[in-house]
Amino acid sequence: MVVRAIRAATRLQRDDADEMAVAVVEMLTALIDDNGLSRDQLISVLFTATPDLHSCFPAAAARGMGLTDVPLMCAQELDVSGSMQMVIRAMVHVDTELPRSELTHPYLRGTDALRATAPTVAGPAPA
């Protein structure tokens, strides 16, 4: 067994439980389909949501699509000034023989900008 992590993200127009359910199912379906996975290959899913989302848990949508035997966890994303709002991210651990270079990480609804190179933050010089 080879465990790989696949990232995904989606964005909502408003903090609404129905819209969140549709967006999360769309994101997870794209991740599964684009990588040729079966649901049995899913090991666990970690969701994060930006602090402006309160309507429901992203994991509830995953349960609603039938992922009832996959461990799911939700957390709040860091509240960084100027960061994209209304975003749900997922890190999905899967059992797959695909090499990392062949994995597809779906970034939907305008979140592809999150894949752009982040600005470098200057820190202390190495000793």
- What pLDDT, on the 0 to 100 scale, is given for residue 112? 87
Annotated active-site positions, please?
7, 63, 74, 77, 89, 107, 115
- What pLDDT, on the 0 to 100 scale, is given for residue 115? 79
Contact between 26 and 117 under an 8 Å Cβ cutoff? The reply is no
Regions of the chain with pLDDT less than 50: 117, 120, 123
- What pLDDT, on the 0 to 100 scale, is given for residue 119? 52
- What pLDDT, on the 0 to 100 scale, is given for residue 19? 96
Does CATH number 3.30.1330.40 belong to domain 3-108?
yes
For the chain, which residues make up each domain, given as ranges? 3-108
- What pLDDT, on the 0 to 100 scale, is given for residue 59? 96
- What pLDDT, on the 0 to 100 scale, is given for residue 114? 85
User: The tokens 């999905």 sit on which residue?
Assistant: 92
- What pLDDT, on the 0 to 100 scale, is given for residue 127? 52
> For the chain, how far is it from start to end, CA to CA, in angstroms?
41
